[in-house]
Structure 1
Amino acid sequence: MTGIKATGERKLMLFSGRGHRELAEDVAGRLGTGVTPAELKDFANGEIYARYEESVRGCDAFVLQAHTAPINHRIMEQLIMVDALKRASAERITVVAPFFGYARQDKKHRGREPVSARLMADLFTAAGADRLMVVDLHTAQIQGFFDGPVDHLHAMPLLADHVARLVGSSELTIVAPDAGRVRVAERWTDRAGCALAIIHKRRDPSRPSEISVQDVVGEIAGRTCVIVDDMIDTGGTIVRAAEALAARGAAEIIAAATHGVFSGDAAERLAASAVSRLIITDTLPLPPGFHFDDLTVLSISPLVARAIREVFTDGSVTTLFEGES
């Protein structure tokens, strides 16, 4: 039987969807347990079926799923897994979503739009989740959409320490690719003790629908520039930022992000850009066939495992990030 016993009869059990089984197994290994066996399958019409092969009554359940392509299928699978745990009398259910789907839709930009991040939180609540555990939400305020505890983990220390070992800080500039990433970039510079640059995107008055002019504020020429973001999806933001930095004399351009979504032709777009190195974590599996010449994938499993253990033992997840603002 899988699971870790705590005082009394409470037991930690880790469950995995089919989105990123390798990550779940790595997390389980670091916890000293296994992934609880479950039958997960699709019916002919695409409906998802889930059943656990061990008793889960009274357990402290952690359901890990990567919201990767096909993203709606993976989210629905996790919801069904949560519902199955609730109906099988699990004591507490924590949804572990290293990459939280729909996080970019956290507010209405125009009329008649949804707030899909709030809908996601409501769906997990309705399914029976008591707690959420996520890594680097697109915007931190999404935590307020869920009516329960949210453990918001940060990959920045992992990424920043790797960059510091790789480059050092004397000739390093951390770059925010847009206004929304400035606070993230500031936390990087606070940790690394290096310079900060900000890319400000402006619209050409003659072509208001296109972002065609970029201002760069900060020291760039002759320096190693690290563009930091929470995710790389199509690669458009990173590529445009790299072009602006190269035009201003950057010696080397590195892109670092927590989530490697890499939709569509992102690999080709990045390969043809001024980015020389790409650093991500494994919150999501790499898409089939994805290739970049100098790609580093850092493991997020030690952080997730430590956070799960803190939650299970009623410890403090905050202590994992003490000193980070």
Structure 2
Amino acid sequence: MAQTSEPKLISGNANMPLAKAIARRMSLHRGVNVGLVNARVERFNDSEVFVEVFENVRGEDMFIIQPTSNPANDNLMELLVMADALRRSSAARVTAVLPYFGYARQDRRTKARTPITAKLVANMMVGTGIERILTMDLHAAQIQGFFDIPVDNLYASPVFALDIKNEFKDRMDELMVISPDVGGVARARELAKRINSPLAIVDKRREKAGEVSEMTVIGDVTDKVCLIVDDICDTAGTLCKAAEVLLEAGAKEVHSYISHGVMSGPAVQRIKDSVMKSLVITDSIQPTDAVKQAENIRIVPTAPIFAQAILNIWNGTSVSSLFDAESLEPIYDGMYNPS
């Protein structure tokens, strides 16, 4: 495909601050102004989504920035309608940038007569003419196989590693990475390798969805500063209970690093009242005012890594290079200085 003058960004209403931050970072890298394409994404009186693009996008390489977070259905529909509008306007290529991929937890049949909604969503995206997906920390890596188009799955762990080396630079030998369940061991192990720390697991048993009946710590956390690592914090019930169990098992402190702060219902209050010293999330989902005001919640930016990934896709260069600390540190220049 012939390269156009500059990549073009467009955003729905799901996370406009992140979209603007990505545009600013790309402008900094390119040395020219990279703004969001002028468009309106609105609702009719009956809540139907309406999109109108006010700029010529014929032959352009378009990137739609739209996490499918709460309200998931509305934000997903915005994405699909924007993609259709761009394809009908003769855009050369449409890439969906999904900092958070909603419906990812429905990636398999857990019981009889249940859907695999993540696959359904993948089919819908491909059906609208989206040719590439850029996302971060998919709940299950196999979701990449649900698409018949390229999927670039970025990881928050390199960014978290930079933050940990900055925040705990004098206590690195005390750290222990914790997976809150057996299914998240691979994700936790990845971060543990990056910061050269041991790994432990909190094994949980559920009686029904959203309720944990029993937790057991696998590993010795005595006098350790425990870092719980997971991809999603929804109602925070499991996270807060895991922190309590770790302290009861002898841990010195508990902190958490979560890729996507869904923060439904009582989550923020639970975090504020919990024994956790801090919760670190990314801005893949637009944080609410309550999240911003919580003293023990910190937000790390994803705009630098997404901006560079978009530029790499546009240039036809490697996206996986962003998994390396050597490539990532210059992108977050001035933000973290572990030395």
- TM-score of the two chains, using structure 2 as the length reference: 0.89
Residue in 2 aligned with 1:3? none
Aligned-pair distance for 1:44? Answer: 0.4
**Is residue 2:185 matched to residue 1:182?**
yes
Within the candidate set 23, 37, 44, 2:18 is matched to: 23
**Is residue 2:134 matched to residue 1:139?**
no
Change (3 A) 1:47 1:26: same
Residue in 2 aligned with 1:298? 300
**Is residue 2:317 matched to residue 1:311?**
no
Matched residues in 2 for 1:203 and 1:159: separation? Answer: 28
CA contact (8 A) 2:175 2:197 kept: yes
Give the alignment of 1:259-298 within 5 angstroms. 259-290=260-291, 291-298=293-300
Contiguous gaps of at least 5 residues in structure 1: 1-5
Within the candidate set 201, 206, 209, 2:204 is matched to: 201
Matched residues in 2 for 1:145 and 1:7: separation? Answer: 28
Matched residues in 2 for 1:250 and 1:22: separation? Answer: 37
- TM-score of the two chains, using structure 1 as the length reference: 0.93
- My pick for the range that moved more, 143-152 or 218-227, is 218-227
Aligned-pair distance for 1:322? Answer: 4.2
CA contact (8 A) 1:20 1:284 kept: yes
Matched residues in 2 for 1:202 and 1:17: separation? Answer: 38
Change (3 A) 1:7 1:177: same
CA contact (8 A) 1:256 1:279 kept: yes
- Aligned-partner SS, 2:259: strand
Aligned-pair distance for 1:212? Answer: 2.6
CA contact (8 A) 1:177 1:229 kept: yes
Aligned-pair distance for 1:210? Answer: 6.4
Superimposed CA distance per residue, residues 62-116 of structure 1 (whole angstroms, 9 cap, x where no aligned partner): 0001222212101100110000001111110000000001000000000110001
Matched residues in 2 for 1:256 and 1:318: separation? Answer: 22
Contiguous gaps of at least 5 residues in structure 2: 28-33, 327-339
- Aligned-partner SS, 1:170: helix
- My pick for the range that moved more, 165-174 or 35-44, is 165-174
Residue-pair matches, total = 316
**Is residue 2:143 matched to residue 1:148?**
no
AA paired with 1:18?
A: N
Residue in 1 aligned with 2:109? 108
CA contact (8 A) 1:62 1:96 kept: yes
AA paired with 1:296?
A: R
| Identity across the alignment (%) | 38
Change (3 A) 1:83 1:8: closer
Q: Compute the RMSD of aligned alpha carbons.
A: 1.9
CA contact (8 A) 1:10 1:58 kept: no
Within the candidate set 165, 169, 173, 2:172 is matched to: 169
Aligned-pair distance for 1:149? Answer: 0.3
Matched residues in 2 for 1:251 and 1:263: separation? Answer: 28
